[in-house]
Amino acid sequence: MKKIAIFAKVHDPRCLGVAEELVTWLEARGLEPVVEAHLARHLKFEPGTEPERIPDSADLVVVLGGDGTLISVARLIGERQVPILGVNLGSLGFLTEITLDEMYPALERCIAGNFQVSERMMLKTEVTREGEVISSHQVLNDVVINKGALARIIDLETSVDDYHLTTFKADGLIISSPTGSTGYSLAAAGPIVHPALDCLVITPICPHTLTNRPVVVDAGARISIILRSMNEDVFLTLDGQVGMELKAGDRIMIRRAEHRTRLVISQSKDYFEVLRTKLKWGER
């Protein structure tokens, strides 16, 4: 590895300080830091690199911040599948599991080619309106259909592989990947799914029918959701970061993406330790 890209949460002074130190560390070892343009302006580092050019110009991506920053970078990297080393400078951090103390040893292993990755399934989402695809995205965590603040419960006709599942009457619906199972889906009483599994999780948000429960389906399934509610404010949110307003009759198609996100994993902890730590299991 010769070119190391750096993304950071630019509004966090701590992240900026670590990024500045990292640039110096890389240059001292004869490596080329590829600094994302917005971050470069904050560091007064020239030249910065526009985000969309980074996947084709980096051998490794370092993300300084929290899970939100890493999720946005994962969508950007897309099919290039460049390994991502997430350094946790946020609060929770299910994905950015490398601590600041572990960062430089982990970087040295990556540069030497002695590292392991966790390959995470991504979701491909298409919105069709009147027979035309109007939006297409690939996400790491989840696809959420949610009612507006003043809207009534909404009707979401849901099918799996052309088989009718049900019409959810609820505040909304979450379709999550295994990685996203510890996000919004977990808060809506969805299951925790190990990230090595290939599956999709369908979790209703505050369903009007109390017997509606989360459903786990095969990763090869195609999930179709049609908004049947009229005159309600309904929104589609992708990874909690990208969104659009939906209209009655819109169809949302969700399936497994062809590529995966590759996350560099810590050699000092496993997934279950991350769960115990982040969710404070076993503590009184």
Q: Which residues are catalytic?
A: 67
- CA 49, 50, 51, 54: dihedral to nearest 10 degrees? -50
Backbone angles phi, psi at 214, to 5 degrees: -60, 145
Q: Which of 192, 211, 203, 210 is nearest to 158 (CA)?
A: 203
Residue type, 84: I
Strand 172-176 relative to strand 242-246: parallel, antiparallel, unpaired?
unpaired
| Residue 47 preceded by cis peptide, ω within 30 | yes
Residue type, 68: G
Token representation of residue 40: 């470069």
Distance CA 179, CA 130 (A): 32
Mark 194-224 as b/e (b = at least 16 C-beta within 10 Å). Answer: ebeeebbbbbbbebeeeebebbbbeeebebb
